[in-house]
């Protein structure tokens, strides 16, 4: 092999290793719910949210933020621990400083408060959980406290939580109604539905009168108001992005 060929081969191997190695050990693959099964797409992450147009936004184990546009992922500025998207399209994150931020179209605007989990309802109001498990809702100017304590929250047409006891609840007029089952992650989907990931990664969907098991395992799940659903699968199952992706 000539010196030039050797250098070219070494460079190609180094680039491949760098790209393939970008996926962290705690990242999982990205999957879309399609006709009763999960279809994997390129990419990986730890947290996911779904925009009204059905496109996912993803946070990976390095806290980097990506959004899908026409099937390709675009890296955005900033770092995040969690992400939520409202029914009118507003995007909110929990930063690595535990601060709450809202997307302005080109960057993130800091708003008051700190939190560890976030979701956004159909009107664009963020719901957050702080380090003590307390629940707050954005009223347009500030976060106001709500009853109960939780570990995770899913806001859409309805608001669901994983309570501090790991049980699932749905918000009524002024209180939380236990819905049966337990979990660690939750997302409110189309009206009357919710998706839950339990402690062993099993996936459940609320269907009118109870939770039904769905095939697959996940670490996070997200749905929008029209029912389009995505999930982050079990760790280490991602595919690196192809040409044009991240």
Q: What pLDDT, in 10s, does the model give residues 133-172?
A: 999 999 999 999 999 999 999 999 999 999 999 999 999 9
Give percent of the chain above pLDDT 70.
Answer: 86
pLDDT of residue 234: 83
**CA distances to 29, 164, 197, 213, 215 from 200, in Å:** 17, 17, 8, 13, 13
Confidence of residue 10 (pLDDT cuts 50, 70, 90): very low
User: Residue written as tokens 């460079």?
Assistant: 11
What are 178's two structure tokens? 């236990």
Per-residue pLDDT tens over the stretch 164-180:
999 999 999 879 999 99
List pLDDT tens digits, range 26-51: 999 999 999 999 999 999 999 999 99
Separation CA 78–CA 94 (nearest Å): 10
Q: Comparing 21 with 195, which gets the higher pLDDT? A: 195
Among residues of the chain, what percentage have pLDDT more than 90? 81
Question: What's the confidence (pLDDT) of residue 153?
Answer: 98
Query: What pTM, to 2 d.p., does this model score?
Result: 0.87
Residues composing the chain: 246
What confidence score (pLDDT) does residue 239 get?
59
Residue 176 near residue 163, CB atoms below 8 Å:
yes
State how far the Cα of 211 lies from the Cα of 131, in Å rounded to an integer: 28
Chain mean position to CA 160: 15
The reply to whether CATH 2.130.10.10 applies to domain 25-235 is yes
- Chain-centroid distance of CA 118 in Å reads 9
Mean pLDDT of 75-89: 98
Question: Which H or E run includes 19?
Answer: helix 3-20
**Weakest mean pLDDT among 173-177, 197-201, 240-244:** 240-244
Mean pLDDT rounded to a whole number for the chain:
89
pLDDT of residue 6 exceeding 90, the answer is no
Domain boundaries, the chain: 25-235
Mean pLDDT of 96-125: 98
Does pLDDT of 231 surpass 90?
yes
CA distance 192 to 47: 23
- Answer left, alpha or beta for residue 10, where phi above 0 means left and psi between -120 and 50 means alpha: alpha
- DSSP 8-state class, residue 6: H
Q: What is the mean pLDDT of residues 10-38?
A: 67
Q: What is the pLDDT of residue 207?
A: 86
The number of beta carbons lying within 10 Å of the beta carbon of residue 123 is: 13
Report the chain's C-alpha Rg in angstroms. 19
Look at 65 and 4; give whichever has higher pLDDT: 65
| Cα 196 from chain centre | 12
> Has residue 7 got a pLDDT over 50?
no
First CA to last CA across the chain, in angstroms?
Answer: 33
Rounded CA-CA distance 108/72 in Å is: 21
Kindly provide the b/e burial profile for residues 135-168, where b requires at least 16 CB atoms within 10 angstroms of the residue's own CB: bbbbeeeebeebebebbbbbbbebbbbbbeeebb
Cα dihedral sign, 111-113-118-124: negative
Reported as a pLDDT band with limits 50, 70 and 90, residue 240 is: low
CA distance 95 to 76: 13
């Amino acid at each position: 092999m000539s010196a030039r060929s050797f250098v070219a081969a070494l460079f190609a191997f180094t680039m491949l290793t760098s790209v393939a190695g970008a996926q962290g050990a705690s990242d999982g693959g990205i999957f879309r719910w399609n006709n009763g099964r999960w279809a994997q797409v390129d990419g990986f992450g730890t947290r996911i949210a779904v925009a009204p147009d059905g496109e996912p936004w993803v946070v990976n184990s390095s806290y980097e933020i990506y959004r899908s546009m026409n099937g390709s992922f675009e890296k955005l500025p900033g770092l995040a621990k969690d992400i939520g998207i409202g029914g009118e399209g507003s995007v909110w994150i929990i930063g690595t400083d535990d601060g709450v931020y809202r997307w302005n179209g080109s960057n993130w605007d800091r708003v008051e408060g700190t939190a560890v989990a976030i979701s956004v309802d159909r009107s664009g109001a963020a719901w957050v959980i702080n380090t003590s498990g307390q629940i707050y809702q954005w009223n347009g100017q500030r976060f106001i406290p709500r009853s109960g304590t939780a570990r995770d929250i899913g806001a859409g047409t309805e608001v669901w939580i994983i309570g501090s006891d790991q049980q699932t609840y749905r918000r009524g007029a002024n209180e939380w109604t236990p819905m049966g089952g337990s979990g660690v992650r939750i997302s409110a989907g189309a009206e009357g539905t919710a998706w839950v990931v339990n402690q062993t990664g099993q996936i459940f969907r609320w269907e009118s009168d109870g939770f039904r098991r769905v095939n697959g395992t996940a670490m996070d799940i997200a749905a929008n108001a029209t029912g389009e659903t995505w999930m982050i699968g079990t760790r280490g199952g991602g595919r690196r992005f192809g040409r044009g992706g991240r």
